[in-house]
Amino acid sequence: MSSPLFKTVCFIGIGLIGSSLARAVRKHGLAEKLIALDISEKARTAALALSVVDQATDDPAQAIPEADLIVIGAPVGATQAVGEAIGPYLKAGAIITDVGSVKLAVIRDLMPSLPDGVTFVPGHPIAGTEHSGPESGFAELFEGRWQILTPLPGSDQKAVDKVVALWKGVGSEVEIMDPHHHDKVLAITSHLPHLIAYTIVGTANDLEGHMQQEVIKFSASGFRDFTRIAASDPIMWRDVFLNNREAVLEVLQRFTEDLTALQRSIRWGEGEVLQKRFTETRAIRRAIIDAKQA
Amino acid sequence: MSSPLFKTVCFIGIGLIGSSLARAVRKHGLAEKLIALDISEKARTAALALSVVDQATDDPAQAIPEADLIVIGAPVGATQAVGEAIGPYLKAGAIITDVGSVKLAVIRDLMPSLPDGVTFVPGHPIAGTEHSGPESGFAELFEGRWQILTPLPGSDQKAVDKVVALWKGVGSEVEIMDPHHHDKVLAITSHLPHLIAYTIVGTANDLEGHMQQEVIKFSASGFRDFTRIAASDPIMWRDVFLNNREAVLEVLQRFTEDLTALQRSIRWGEGEVLQKRFTETRAIRRAIIDAKQA
């Protein structure tokens, strides 16, 4: 029997993503020992009760020194604090990766705390649900989904290869990308859609009571799909917008221009403009179905 | 064996909704004979091949005179033309209903063509998919979903009751509503979400080629859900926006204000505002789940 990819893996933050990866690592025999490092006692208790990990603690000194791989699954706004907390305990040769939805800010906030001989391989799994917490995780979350890695220039290639092997081992397809480019692409595919969904559900939430009840009652007519996205973790998303500000504001500007143009077409009754625009968007849906991402 | 609710039903437009209702009417034995009146030869051929109807024609004279119930499933912008085409052939006592997503404009455009003794019971099923055409229909589409009816003051109550019985017979729950109120509620729950989805997918569609391919590849991060909505029938939706202009522009104004406020909070790094807003929206999702509309 071959030895597993890692001896000990420590998950910092054992929420939806962290606990799903822990389950998948266990399922595929990719590590010998799994530790959760989480400030939430509730999350630690749940992770232990569900046997997602072998050990759970809120003390870096109890978790980091033996870890060969550390997976940071905390909100990206906590990255600097996480780095300062674990930096002193990292062993030589340790590998760190993360699952944050922005990459430049995470690199900026984590790197100053890392000693020589430790390799950080930033990552972002394009997978998730609107649920939070260790109870919501499942081992199959990453199967057939993309894992983006944004390794830094000059990184130890063996460490990068091991992180690639980890994600392939849990069923993901791996894409290597520049972190700046990642943040621009995700601003469009993820951050803007979430901002829009939060906004429209918030607009409905501000309606007077009677109207709000009817919005819920007749939500199946389109609104419902936005509420699922807008039920995502508030702290995680707060941090995404604060840490990918430039890219989000730029793509939001494009969106607002396009919305204003459609608004004007509605006001002036320009049916041909509307029909043309609504026809073009069907092609993207077909491409997504063809790419098996639907 | 009791006699069915209607002897002959004519479906004007045998697309997704028309063909689904025809299938459901057949499945539940609610009519003896089903006729499709459709200008598209392709749709007529498909509806006959699928045995969705017993007869299909593009000639009102061949379909309307014997119809006890006429279901208008054409884009709402075609309502006036439909009324003028069928008006001369309607028999006394005939009942007309429709499935349009706006109600005031349909009432305005249809009523002038209707002779005395014919009752129009406007309706809107809160059900559908992003697919079009008779092949996309299925008999279970309306089960457990809301059917809104907006009968006119002074309408023949027996006719209204028969339309209620039709929709309950195919599994819907029926809500009676004022047409003006319908158009306001649906502007929020349906028309605005569709406009937003069309816009964001259009914004992505305008990106340079390389970026566009990545949007498709990584669409699972949020964007994907919008593309499903934005794949809806372009002509149907063009007509919705042109015919519910005031209500859509009003709710769009509220949305734009809210989006601008969030944009400002991102620019100025107001994390508490973002977190508060993102937390409030979770409550609506829970209410939709509780209302069994999720």
Position B240, amino acid: V
B266–A242 CB contact, under 8 Å: yes
> B246 CB near a chain A CB, below 8 Å?
no
- Sort out which chain A residues have CB atoms less than 8 A from B286's CB and list them: 231
Mutation pick from A188, A206, A207 vs chain B, by most beta carbons of B within 10 Å, is: A188
Rg, chain A, Cα only? 21
pLDDT at A226 (0 to 100) = 92
B188–A224 CB contact, under 8 Å: no
Of A101-105, A283-287, B134-138, B160-164, which range is least confident? A283-287
Q: Of chain A residues 194-233, which have a CB less than 8 A from chain B?
A: 194-207, 211-212, 214-232
Q: Of chain B residues 39-78, which have a CB less than 8 A from chain A?
A: 77
B130–A285 CB contact, under 8 Å: yes
Q: Of chain B residues 74-103, which have a CB less than 8 A from chain A?
A: 77, 101
Q: Write out pLDDT tens, residues A221-263.
A: 889 989 999 999 999 999 999 999 999 999 999 999 999 999 9
DSSP B82-93: HHHHHGGGPPTT
Residue A42 above 60 pLDDT? yes
What is the residue extent of each domain of chain A?
6-177, 181-290
Residues in Cβ contact with A157 at an 8 Å cutoff, skipping those fewer than 6 apart:
none
Class at the top of the CATH hierarchy for domain B6-177: alpha beta
Position B243, amino acid: N
DSSP A280-294: HHHHHHHHHHHTT--
Residues in Cβ contact with A161 at an 8 Å cutoff, skipping those fewer than 6 apart:
none
Residue B1 above 60 pLDDT? no
B249–A267 CB contact, under 8 Å: yes
Same fold, B6-177 and B181-290: no
Q: Is B2 helix (H, G, I), strand (E, B) or coil?
A: coil
Nearest CA in chain A to B216: A288
Q: How confident is the model at residue A75 (pLDDT cuts 50, 70, 90)?
A: very high
Q: Which CATH architecture has domain B181-290?
A: Orthogonal Bundle (1.10)
Q: Is B27 exposed, middle or buried (0-12, 13-18, 19+ CB in 10 A)?
A: middle
Q: How confident is the model at residue A20 (pLDDT cuts 50, 70, 90)?
A: very high
B77–A271 CB contact, under 8 Å: yes
What ipTM score was computed for the predicted complex, to two decimals?
A: 0.91
Percent of chain B with pLDDT over 70: 99
A231–B282 CB contact, under 8 Å: yes
- Sort out which chain B residues have CB atoms less than 8 A from A274's CB and list them: 234, 237-238, 241-242
pLDDT at B249 (0 to 100) = 97
Give the one of A148, A222, A228 whose C-beta lies nearest to B194's C-beta. A222
Residues in Cβ contact with B167 at an 8 Å cutoff, skipping those fewer than 6 apart:
B123, B125, B142, B147, B149, B174
Residue B293 above 80 pLDDT? no
> B274 CB near a chain A CB, below 8 Å?
yes
Query: How close does chain A come to B10, measured CA to CA in Å?
Result: 25
Residue B193 above 80 pLDDT? yes
Nearest by Cα to A167 from A99, A83, A85, A119: A99
pLDDT at B210 (0 to 100) = 85
Q: Are B254 and B195 in contact (CB under 8 A)?
A: no
pLDDT at A210 (0 to 100) = 85
CA distance linking residue A181 with residue A124, whole number of Å: 13
pLDDT at B202 (0 to 100) = 94
- Of A54 and A288, the one with more pLDDT: A54
Q: Write out pLDDT tens, residues B90-147.
A: 999 999 999 999 999 999 999 999 999 999 999 999 998 888 899 999 999 999 999 9
CA distance linking residue B73 with residue B96, whole number of Å: 11
A:B CB pairs within 8 Å: 300
- Sort out which chain B residues have CB atoms less than 8 A from A291's CB and list them: 216-217, 219
A284–B252 CB contact, under 8 Å: no
Question: Which residue is it, tokens 């794949």?
Answer: B231
Q: Of chain A residues 135-164, which have a CB less than 8 A from chain B?
A: 145-146, 148
> A176 CB near a chain B CB, below 8 Å?
no
pLDDT at A140 (0 to 100) = 97
CA distance linking residue A1 with residue B228, whole number of Å: 46
pLDDT at B220 (0 to 100) = 84
Query: How close does chain B come to A111, measured CA to CA in Å?
Result: 23
- Mean pLDDT for all residues in chain B: 95
> B291 CB near a chain A CB, below 8 Å?
yes
Q: How confident is the model at residue A220 (pLDDT cuts 50, 70, 90)?
A: confident
Average pLDDT over every residue of B230-254: 96
Average pLDDT over every residue of A145-151: 97
- Sort out which chain A residues have CB atoms less than 8 A from B242's CB and list them: 266, 269, 271, 274
Query: How close does chain A come to B2, measured CA to CA in Å?
Result: 34
